[in-house]
Amino acid sequence: MGIRAHHSEPTDPELLEWLVHTVDLVLGQGPVIMVALIGVVVIAIPLAITVLALRRRGGRQA
C-alpha cells in the first residue's frame, strides 16, 4: 500500500493556474514583468547575503 498522487503533474495544476491568475490581477502586468521581478529577487538574495557577510567580517583579513 502506498500513497498515490491525484494527478501526474509535479504541482497541482488548479493551484498553479489560480496563483498565476491572482498574481496577474494584483500586479496588472504581463508575464515579462513577473519573470523580471523573480529574476531580481533571485539575484538580490545572494547579493544581500554576500554584502552582510562582508560587513560583518569588517576589516579582518581571511
Question: DSSP string covering 15-58, please?
Answer: HHHHHHHHHHHHH---HHHHHHHHHHHHHHHHHHHHHHHHHHHT
Decide if 39 contacts 32 (C-beta within 8 A). no
pLDDT for 5-62, tens place per residue? 565 667 788 888 898 888 778 777 777 877 888 899 999 999 999 999 999 987 666 5
Total-model pTM: 0.49
Q: Which three cell numbers stand for residue 12?
A: 497541482
Boundaries of every domain in the chain: 29-57
Question: Rg (Cα) of the chain, in Å, rounded?
Answer: 20
